[in-house]
Amino acid sequence: MKHEWRKHEKDLYMPAQKPGAITVPEQKFIMISGQGDPNSEEFAEKVGVLYSLSYAVRMMPKQGYTPEGYFEYSVYPLEGIWDLTEEGKKADTLKKDQLIYTIMIRQPDFTTREVTDRAFEVVRKKKPHPLLDEVVYGTMEDGLAVQMLHVGSYDDEFRTFEAMKDFIKNNNLEVASLKHREIYLSDARKVEPAKLKTVLRWKVRPLE
């Protein structure tokens, strides 16, 4: 049976439009970092490189190599961890050129460094790109977090964050880091801003 993250991991990827707490386990990712406006051509190029590698992993059996433990699956959605430069934090309004990010795509549990190294080899031959040298493979664990589904423009996310702040305060929690995670369930190139679906997530910890 094909593993569909939308169906089989609903708690992680399909939350309600109201805040809720969740414990996020360790996950495997390919990642690339940068600074600047996510509407830039460079950002789009980085997204493209991540997808090239992710599809290279998924298609390996058709290329004659089946990783141990391989199973059919849908490629996971793009995610991003967002922060601001010190200059950006001092500004009264959001300056997108001061955004610091790590964007990434989760890889299935059977993935190893050897498997991702093979994916790099495939992409370097088929679709070489200078940004490949900036992509890294690693693990990440959010642990205790509060998340909520945001529907609408990225520029309106502050409303969803306000609801999350209230939930955190009312449940004797505090934000563990001002960095936040976004999981993009919609393709912004194809979906109008008012209908974009994005999971917003903050790492939290209990108040002592």
Instruction: For residue 203, tell me if it sits in a domain.
Output: no
Q: What is the pLDDT along the chain (208 residues), one digit of tens a residue?
A: 899 999 999 999 999 999 999 999 999 999 999 999 999 999 999 999 999 999 999 999 999 999 999 999 999 999 999 999 999 888 888 889 999 999 999 999 999 999 999 999 999 999 999 999 999 999 999 999 999 999 999 999 999 999 999 999 999 999 998 899 999 999 988 999 999 999 999 999 999 7
Instruction: For residue 122, tell me if it sits in a domain.
Output: yes
Q: What total of structural domains would you count in the chain?
A: 1
The pLDDT of residue 93 is: 85
Instruction: For residue 208, tell me if it sits in a domain.
Output: no
Task: Say which residue the tokens 């298609």 belong to.
Answer: 59
| Domain assignment of residue 154, given as a range | 5-198
The pLDDT of residue 1 is: 85
CATH code for the domain of 23: 3.20.80.10
Instruction: For residue 205, tell me if it sits in a domain.
Output: no
Instruction: For residue 184, tell me if it sits in a domain.
Output: yes
The pLDDT of residue 92 is: 87
Instruction: For residue 204, tell me if it sits in a domain.
Output: no
The pLDDT of residue 89 is: 87
Instruction: For residue 180, tell me if it sits in a domain.
Output: yes
Instruction: For residue 206, tell me if it sits in a domain.
Output: no
pTM recorded for the entire structure: 0.95
